[in-house]
Amino acid sequence: MRVEVDSSKCQGHNRCMIFAPDVFEVDDYGFATVRADGEIPPEQIEAVKHAVVNCPELAIIVRED
């Protein structure tokens, strides 16, 4: 599974990093990007799912590869 942030939707709420700090990082304004290459480690899948449902902008995209 892979995850990415749609930068055109992200509004910098910083909520994704609260739920999955090992997967997301944010800049000084709270706008998120995905750490590393976007591959979700198995132990982070639940955290990413929490981030997805808590992103108010629906900016987090998870793809099954």
Q: Which residues bind ligand SF4 (CB under 6 A)?
A: 5, 10-16, 26, 30, 32, 55, 57, 59-60
CB of 24 to ligand SF4, least distance (A): 6
List residues bridging with 7 in a β-sheet.
none
Give the strand pairing for 60-63 and 24-26.
unpaired
Coil, helix or strand at residue 52: helix
Under 8 Å between Cβ of 4 and 61: yes
Q: Which is nearer to ligand SF4, 4 or 39 (CB)?
A: 4
Minimum CB distance to ligand SF4 smaller for 15 or for 48: 15
